[in-house]
Every structure is written in C-alpha cells, then in structure tokens.
Amino acid sequence: MGDRYNIHSQLEHLQSKYVGTGHADTSKWEWSSNIHRDTYASYLGHFDMLNHIALCENESKARVRFQLLKRMIQPCGPPHEKMDES
C-alpha cells in the first residue's frame, strides 16, 4: 500500500514540475500541442537536424528556424471550445 502512494506522489510531483507530462484532465489538443512543440524544439536544438531540414526544403537555415518558431505558437491550430457539463 505504501509503494502505491509513493509512486502516485512521485507522478504528481513530475506532472507539476514538467508541463508536457500531462495529467488526468489533459485534453487531446493539449497533449498533441505539447508533442509538436517538443518536436520543433528538438529540431531547433540539434544543429544538424536544422541543416537537414533547410537542405531538403531548399531554404536558408534562418528561414527554417523562423518557420519552426512560428509554428510553435499554435502547432495544432486554435484550441477547441469545451463543452458544458450541464
């Protein structure tokens, strides 16, 4: 019984510390936005990956970096309106 509580408290601490880990109330839109943002951040952080994308798209590295940063604002479009539980 003690182990179960310990694991649960560790999970809650992890979820409060890192936004992208999600929780029980995370919507599909929030989860997919976090995944897309993590992916774009990884592309921006790895210089060789950014070079590869720029080469494949025949664009400059600065333009590809700008486009990726722009996509990070709303990677999955605007959020969906929540339905009322009335």
| Per-residue model confidence as pLDDT tens digits over 8-49 | 788 778 777 777 677 777 888 888 888 999 999 999 999 999
Q: Give residue 27's pLDDT.
A: 84
More confident residue, 61 or 4: 61
Q: What is the pLDDT of residues 54-69, one digit of tens each?
A: 999 999 999 999 999 9
DSSP track, 15-81: HHH-GGG--TT--HHHHHHHHHHHHHHHHHH-HHHHHHHHHHHT--HHHHHHHHHHHTTSTT-SPPP
- Mean pLDDT computed over 74-79: 86
Q: Give residue 48's pLDDT.
A: 96
Q: Give residue 85's pLDDT.
A: 53
Structural contact between residues 44 and 68, judged by C-beta atoms closer than 8 angstroms: yes
